[in-house]
Structure 1
Amino acid sequence: MIPQNLRRAAENHVDSGAFRAHLAELVGYPTESTTERGNVALRAYLDHVLTPLLTDLGCTVTEHPNPDPAGGPFLLGTRAESPDLPTVLCYGHADVVDGHSGQWSDGRDPWTLTVDGERWYGRGTADNKGQHLVNLTALRLLLTETGSLGFNLKFLFETGEEIGSPGIAEFAAAHRELLRADVLIASDGPRLDAATPTLFLGSRGGLNFELDADLRPDSYHSGNWGGVLRNPATTLAGAIGTLVDGHGRIQIPGLLPPEIPDAVRAALAGITVANSPGDPAPDAGWGAQDLTAAERLYGWNTLEVLAIGAADIDHPVNAIPGRARAALQLRYVSGTDVSDARRVLTEHLAAHGYPMVEVRITGDFPASRTEIDAPWPRWAAGVLEEVTGGPVAVLPNIGGSLPNFVFTEILGIPALWVPHSYPGCLQHAPDEHLLAPIAREGLVLATALFHAVGRAPR
């Protein structure tokens, strides 16, 4: 159990306005990873924000170049207390998505933290500055109150998560000893809902691909040639229907995972999806109907059509188009084999009469997770439940994607993610915000978890 003086210190840090004031400073750096201005701001953020915060924790701070020229540098803070103690690796990302200046409600500036009731608006408040500030603050509170952490600390920051984390896998593979740890404790992504403290253990992967029915260079009059020339748009619609039907059910076995493990099914048994005010209601009859909504979202695969087009939908003419294209994405859970996806898709389409539809793989983000019944997850869930005095949602993975595979697959360590945001935070959109109650509870949870690590059974 977290000592009362440590709990009070965490709560008072938020109640006093100190945490919000510090977050306002972080938000003021426009660290977009997609703009030149953002790259300059990222440089300043590393030098003037993160390095001092890590130094104050007694860390030796080193910067490492990215092996991928598309990505920015990595920053690593290391604090060694004793070789006999466990080592915790933490992670955060300094970059944010485009600020969407001029699109925020009530004239809000994305780079100025503004308060409206319990909502703290600003780019990065939820993704990821507010979240890594919670963890940095928890570590500082623990160090101030007890004089030591009780474990060795390594805190890794990347600067390109919002552009797909270029280079992080290569960096980790080349620096396994530098990043060696017993466990990852990190924060990103959303809770199950605003009211439910959450522990998740990985992320779904994402396989992006295009289908291209490029049949001829010109369009032809639909009256003169209809019924004679194959229509690429009709062809493409039929081809997609052999992959996923009109009710969201995947039709190709090669895109499905193995059965849901019993431990995962048990963990998801009490999970309610879309449980926050303002959440869209799940559509009845959509997706695999033999699964619960939670199993479909956190334990299964989905195939989504992200974009589809032929000719000009706003100004159609009476002609059969020559080409139609669609962008699709398979969100897949750990255990799904996508290594030969292009061949599987191509052969499936040919077998169903669509050899003229070309398949192009455009991106893949691996799925990964720590087993839900492994020792570290069981221990962490127990700590969080003791602190909250109520239920904690334990999810095998979030529905979205994170570079979790870097830690579980490349570095070979269990990953514990304790998010301090919620699904309605509008990350990546105008009006991104952090909820003050989640920040307050999150700081208590993070402080308690770090406090317990040094006292955990080896």
Structure 2
Amino acid sequence: MDLLGKARAHVDSGAFFAELATLVSYPTVSDAPEGRVAIEAYLDEVLTPRLKALGCEVTTHPNPDPAGGPFLVGVRTEGDDLPTLLCYGHADVVGEAGQWRDGLDPWTLTADGDRWYGRGTADNKGQHLINLTALRLLLEERGTLGFNLKFLFETGEEIGSPGLTEFAARHRNLLGADVLIASDGPRLDAATPTLFLGARGGVRITLDVDLRPDAYHSGNWGGVLRNPAATLAGAIASLVDGHGRIQIPELLPPELPDTVRAALADVVVDASDETWGDQRLTPAERLYGWNTLEVLALGAGDPGRPVNAIPGRARAVLQLRYVAGTDVGAVAPAIREHLATRGFPMVGVTADATFLASRTPVDDPWVSWARQALDGVAEKPVTLLPNFGGGLPNHVFTDVLGLATLWLPHSYPGCLQHAPDEHLLAPVAREGLALATALFAAVSSAPPIPRR
């Protein structure tokens, strides 16, 4: 049986499912004290043995940010004249926000047809187990990888990767490589193997209209007392209209690069409402190549038990999802100036960047190499996305470490990550293991590509 056949058979035999069940059983929730204990056990009992089995020297590093957990690094060196591959994964998962359906427990892997349910199956334990398994199969087949390997695991991705940027900056030599290959996030869809090159960033924007400590009778004061809820609604509508179109140029990227437009030309996105968003762009361009401003929360008074009174305060939380090239530092000042000129100086604005946008250029040599390596392995052509729609700490690898970044996701948009009933699809795991094995096998024969 050839190498890719062994990869597929590893999933078909149930061996991969059994391994994943062990990983899922660790409740590695990064925002809970008991989860921190589970994370340490996961590093010691799950990841360290698997990295050592790959011939890696394994070290644990404290986080420079007390809000985050430790980092685990495995290094296997085969030769100074060989390419060096950096891989990445995160050991932590989100906490429970809701009830899983009957018969499912988040910490017990459960198969129901092609769906494997359990917390972390898609985000990120199933994904990094696929890559660890692909590397092991390659090593067993060849007796050598044919390249140097570095594997970085963080333990706080679900809480914003605290300390990761500083850790990478301090340890550039330890993490130095020629290219990053990692797996997180979803494919374009369940049936479409996907390669993406970066991530959109996010800015959380809070709008506060805090006019008075008390609510006043609407009959006695209506028409003469400013209503903070109506004020807030008007302010929001001046930022993003009722059809999802951003109204401030400063909240948009300077352009949609031709290379990005070309990469997305054949990408089909199922848009449930074709009238939503900037109609000058295709759904794929809106999702992967452009910025969106979403209202995440909106409140004033008590909608469940309204009273005949004008509330004293209203608040909304918005999020700007943005692509590389956007001037994030201009967001809050631009919003304040915009609102003031439109008669809303009483609206307070705060903005915090939760993660940064970044992408590897579509025409980077590593991109064409990866697509060629994956040709013929997948059941259908691999879709290339300049970045995916969500957020990842990709900027740490592109901007701090100067690497080309190749993300080969092993999940799909309907996996319910961060929600009850998270699951991994068995066919995606099977194909993903074959794709990862083929990509890693090709690293040893990659043409010399100068480091960025």
When normalised by structure 1's length, the TM-score is 0.96
The one of 111, 116, 124 equivalent to 2:112 is 116
Query: For residue 105 of structure 1, what is the amino acid of its counterpart?
Result: R
- Encode CA deviations 1:69-122: one digit per residue, 9 max, x unaligned: 000000000000001001000000000011457x11123111110111111111
1:356 aligns with 2:346: yes
1:226 aligns with 2:216: no
Question: 2:126 aligns to what SS in structure 1?
Answer: helix
Question: 2:47 aligns to what SS in structure 1?
Answer: helix
1:201 aligns with 2:197: yes
Matches within 5 A, 1:180-191: 180-191=176-187
The one of 381, 388, 393 equivalent to 1:403 is 393
Runs (4 or more) in structure 1 with deviation over 2 Å come to none
The one of 412, 422, 431 equivalent to 1:422 is 412
**Per-residue deviation, 1:362:** 3.5
1:126 aligns with 2:127: no
User: Is the contact made by 2:250 and 2:330 (CA closer than 8 Å) also made in structure 1?
Assistant: no
Gap change, CA 1:209 and 1:430, over 3 Å in 2: same
Query: For residue 197 of structure 2, what is the amino acid of its counterpart?
Result: L
**Per-residue deviation, 1:389:** 5.5
Hey, what does 1:40 align to over in structure 2? Answer: 37
**Per-residue deviation, 1:383:** 1.3
User: Is the contact made by 1:205 and 1:332 (CA closer than 8 Å) also made in structure 2?
Assistant: yes
The one of 355, 370, 383 equivalent to 1:393 is 383
1:240 aligns with 2:230: no
- Encode CA deviations 1:310-350: one digit per residue, 9 max, x unaligned: 11111111111111110000000000001132211111110
Distance 1:329 1:446 in 2: 34
Query: For residue 402 of structure 2, what is the amino acid of its counterpart?
Result: G
Hey, what does 2:303 align to over in structure 1? Answer: 313
Matches within 5 A, 1:329-348: 329-348=319-338
- Encode CA deviations 1:147-177: one digit per residue, 9 max, x unaligned: 1111100000000001111100110111111
Hey, what does 1:217 align to over in structure 2? Answer: 213
The one of 7, 14, 19 equivalent to 2:4 is 7
Query: For residue 35 of structure 1, what is the amino acid of its counterpart?
Result: A
Question: 2:172 aligns to what SS in structure 1?
Answer: coil
**Aligned-residue CA RMSD (Å):** 1.0
User: Is the contact made by 1:7 and 1:444 (CA closer than 8 Å) also made in structure 2?
Assistant: yes
**Per-residue deviation, 1:227:** 0.8
Unmatched segments (≥5 aa) in structure 2: none
Distance 2:102 2:224 in 1: 56
- Encode CA deviations 1:1-57: one digit per residue, 9 max, x unaligned: xxx610111011111111110000100111111112211110100000000000000
Hey, what does 2:100 align to over in structure 1? Answer: 104
Hey, what does 1:278 align to over in structure 2? Answer: none
Distance 1:252 1:340 in 2: 11
Hey, what does 1:450 align to over in structure 2? Answer: 440
1:165 aligns with 2:165: no
Hey, what does 2:18 align to over in structure 1? Answer: 21
Hey, what does 1:286 align to over in structure 2? Answer: 276
Hey, what does 2:48 align to over in structure 1? Answer: 51
When normalised by structure 2's length, the TM-score is 0.98
User: Is the contact made by 2:101 and 2:421 (CA closer than 8 Å) also made in structure 1?
Assistant: yes
Distance 1:438 1:390 in 2: 13
Query: For residue 187 of structure 2, what is the amino acid of its counterpart?
Result: R
Does 31-40 or 89-98 show the bigger shift? 31-40
Unmatched segments (≥5 aa) in structure 1: 275-280
Count of residues in Structure 1 that have an aligned counterpart in Structure 2: 448
User: Is the contact made by 1:100 and 1:110 (CA closer than 8 Å) also made in structure 2?
Assistant: no
Distance 1:297 1:117 in 2: 31
Question: 1:106 aligns to what SS in structure 2?
Answer: coil
